[in-house]
A and B are shown apart, each in its own frame.
Chain A
Amino acid sequence: EAQVTQNPRYLITVTGKKLTVTCSQNMNHEYMSWYRQDPGLGLRQIYYSMNVEVTDKGDVPEGYKVSRKEKRNFPLILESPSPNQTSLYFCASTLRRGYEQYFGPGTRLTVT
């Protein structure tokens, strides 16, 4: 089944404790992205990647890191999480530009 998977789905952590949210797609898509969704703000793009080793900032990259060492994986790293990073995070992938983005199920992160 073609899909984007994210892990974990739910995470509660404390300020400053480094964490990684994994994202993997099995569709051989070139493009992958991370978004965060906050009430009243819609979805905002954090980072995106156009291919292996090619990444670029979205609209809200501060406090996040990404890497794309393999085509299928695009992990999101929070080196020192803060409470304002409490949010619902989505990973997405798309085959080519202009095509629809397939979203993962989301990761609900709470930073206390």
Chain B
Amino acid sequence: AQKITQTQPGMFVQEKEAVTLDCTYDTSDPSYGLFWYKQPSSGEMIFLIYQGSYDQQNATEGRYSLNFQKARKSANLVISASQLGDSAMYFCAMREGRTQGGSEKLVFGKGTKLTVNP
């Protein structure tokens, strides 16, 4: 079974509008972390935002925020005021494992291609 599911292969948004990219995850481990990465056409992987399973508040980083709904096992990325430069692939990822002696195994979703239209 997939551990990270991104159901939107492609998304379109108008410049200056907000967009939500969906991510659901599956784990029985109470300690986990969720990441979002951006991959522009140039190919590099850019870290955007992180949410820990025990974090009380939703993570925010500038125009990026993470809508973390633990009971629903979802960690959607919200990009506010979209810019043309936001056009890229976006990957959701999860790290499982307990802090003490745990692994650093990161599992990625298949990604969502976001296109920002002028």
20 extra A-B contacts, CB within 8 A, seeds A43-B45, A45-B105: A33-B104, A33-B106, A35-B108, A41-B110, A42-B108, A42-B109, A43-B93, A44-B108, A48-B104, A56-B103, A59-B107, A97-B104, A98-B33, A98-B50, A100-B50, A103-B44, A103-B45, A105-B44, A106-B43, A106-B44
Chain A interface residues toward B at CB < 8 A: 31, 33, 35, 40-45, 48, 50, 56, 58-59, 88, 90, 92, 94, 97-103, 105-106
Q: Given A50-B103, A50-B104, A97–B91 Cβ distance below 8 Å?
A: no
For this complex, into which size category does the number of interface residues on chain B fall? 20 to 34
- Bound-state CA distance A72–B61 (Å) is 29
Enumerate 25 A-B pairs (CB-CB under 8 Å) in ascending A order: A33-B106, A35-B106, A41-B110, A42-B91, A42-B109, A43-B91, A43-B108, A44-B108, A45-B106, A50-B104, A59-B105, A59-B107, A97-B95, A97-B97, A97-B99, A97-B102, A98-B33, A98-B50, A98-B95, A98-B99, A99-B50, A101-B106, A102-B47, A103-B37, A103-B44
Closest Cβ of chain B: how far from A93's Cβ, in Å? 10
- Bound-state CA distance A58–B104 (Å) is 9
The 9 closest A-B pairs by CB, nearest first: A103-B45, A100-B47, A43-B108, A42-B110, A42-B108, A31-B104, A98-B33, A106-B43, A48-B104
The majority secondary structure among interface residues of chain A is strand
A to B contact number (C-beta, < 8 Å): 59
- The closest CB in chain A to the CB of B103 belongs to A56
